[in-house]
Amino acid sequence: MSSFLIRGGHVVSPADDLDARLDVLVEDGLIREVGPQLDRRPDRVIDARGQVVSPGFIDLHVHLREPGGEESETLETGLAAAVAGGFTSVCPMPNTSPVNDRPELSGALLTRASEIGLARVFPIAAVSMGSAGDTLTNFRALAAAGAVAFSDDGRPVKTAGLMKTAMETARRLGVPVVEHCEDPSLTAGGVLNEGAVAEKLGVKGVPAASEEVCLARDLVLANATGAHLHVAHLSTAGSVELVRAARRRGVRVTAEVTPHHFVLTDEAVLQHGTNAKMNPPLRRTRDLEAVLAGLADSTIDAIATDHAPHASRLKAKALSEAPFGVTGLETALGLAMTFLVHTGRIAIGQLVTLLSVNPARIINRPLGRLRVGSAGDVTIFDPEREWIYRVEESRSKGRNSPFHGWKLKGCITATIVAGKLVYERAA
């Protein structure tokens, strides 16, 4: 195996209380030494002066489309986009075709991912067979096959009864249930956030209540069962308040937000059309402000991309017909730096907590740190470097991003997974 000396970077690892200019030696797949001016003869030196050296980022929420949706993304292109975005681990959602609802499918995904050898893959398996909301999957067998959490993402867990059983089972296994909070009776036919933009475009709206009704149900059940509920892509002011209040009462709840929900409002649809159509939809300014406040006061635990590539011919359809979703892996760090850190909303340490430390805790994996002996997963980024995101340069097959042409400040420069340099940006 090779060794790297990452020299002179600003090492930020909140779980290890590290926030200083240090060298990091990565050898045989592990962090071997961390300290000032290490005197070693590695195979390779990475000059990290002026850069941040972070434990590898973990994306709790991606759609990599394989199997069944290879026109939009493959594991190979999705994982290449992940490491270009600084993500050393990703958690693919189960809504592929077939749905990841059996241990053989989780196992096949892991085998394929290890053949590709870019980012680590931690599958999230379905709560119900086919995510149809009728029969619980075999949580124990799926967890044994590598699933780190359970979700019917793309849709909510259909009934309170099924969710209660899912939570009881998940609690015994020590894994979270991840909810896509939506009440379909409130969203049927909905395209955009309910409000002025939807009215102007003459499409049906999706009210904030759809998300909040489902979240409230799940918080009641998490409280009753003692299970860990993880809220996917939280998007409304009311949801931030529900999570904040539940946690105060001692409910085991964690929550993620996507960059698009902390950067854009529904107004973006007027400019970007179907490339700003996702589920949950972009909301109002006051929701965006509440999400930013939730990130600043740690009510929100993680930033996850909900990377959802779609072939261009699908996104070329009319606004009401096009599928929901935008890509996100390669723009997450740049958007978070530009809109959270450079605006003074959060410090770099909190950013690393949101992208690495807390995601590792949520999926119960010994990652998100840089102490000696831990996994050699490292993300290096230049906090000051400006760059322009262009979809045609994306490693993802998806071109559906509202951030095409945006200038961002903060740029991934190198990504190391298990001691292997899997991405390096040209100078």
Nearest residue (CB) to Zn ion, 26 versus 208:
208
Span of 30-38, 174-182, 237-245, 373-381 interacting with Zn ion by CB under 5 A = 174-182
Measure the CA–CA gap between 418 and 422, rounded to whole angstroms.
9
Told to check if 59 binds Zn ion by CB under 5 A, we report: no
253-257 vs 229-231, strand pairing mode:
parallel
Q: How far is the CB of 203 from Zn ion (least distance, A)?
A: 19
Residues between 175 and 194 with contacts to Zn ion, criterion CB under 5 A: 180
Coil, strand or helix: which one is 230? strand
Q: Is residue 306 annotated as part of the catalytic site, yes or no?
A: yes
Residues that bind Zn ion (rule: CB under 5 A) add up to a total of: 3
Does residue 121 come out as left (phi exceeding 0), alpha (psi in the -120 to 50 range) or beta?
A: beta
Residue type, 25: L
Nearest residue (CB) to Zn ion, 29 versus 67:
67
Structure token digits, residue 372: 């000696």
Are residues 150 and 178 in contact, defined by beta-carbon separation less than 8 angstroms?
Answer: yes
Residues between 271 and 310 with contacts to Zn ion, criterion CB under 5 A: 306
Nearest residue (CB) to Zn ion, 153 versus 218:
153
Told to check if 32 binds Zn ion by CB under 5 A, we report: no
Q: Closest residue to Zn ion, Cβ-based?
A: 180
Q: What is the dihedral of CA 242, 215, 187, 63, to 10 degrees?
A: 110
Residue of the chain from 59, 152, 153, 301 that contacts Zn ion (CB under 5 A): 153
Give the x-and-dash track for 69-98 against Zn ion (CB under 5 A).
Answer: ------------------------------
Residue type, 13: S
Q: How far is the CB of 90 from Zn ion (least distance, A)?
A: 12
Nearest residue (CB) to Zn ion, 228 versus 260:
260
Concatenated DSSP letters of 280-345:
SPP--HHHHHHHHHHHHTTSS-EE---B----HHHHTS-TTTSPP----TTTHHHHHIIIIITTTS
Q: Exactly one of 59, 266, 306, 382 is catalytic; which is it? A: 306
Span of 30-38, 151-159, 283-291, 394-402 interacting with Zn ion by CB under 5 A = 151-159
Nearest residue (CB) to Zn ion, 11 versus 82:
82
Q: How far is the CB of 246 from Zn ion (least distance, A)?
A: 20
Measure the CA–CA gap between 105 and 47, rounded to whole angstroms.
41
Told to check if 65 binds Zn ion by CB under 5 A, we report: no
Q: How far is the CB of 324 from Zn ion (least distance, A)?
A: 8
Question: What angle separates helix 160-173 from helix 208-225, to the nearest 10 degrees?
Answer: 50
Are residues 317 and 363 in contact, defined by beta-carbon separation less than 8 angstroms?
Answer: no
Q: List residues near Zn ion by CB under 5 A.
A: 153, 180, 306
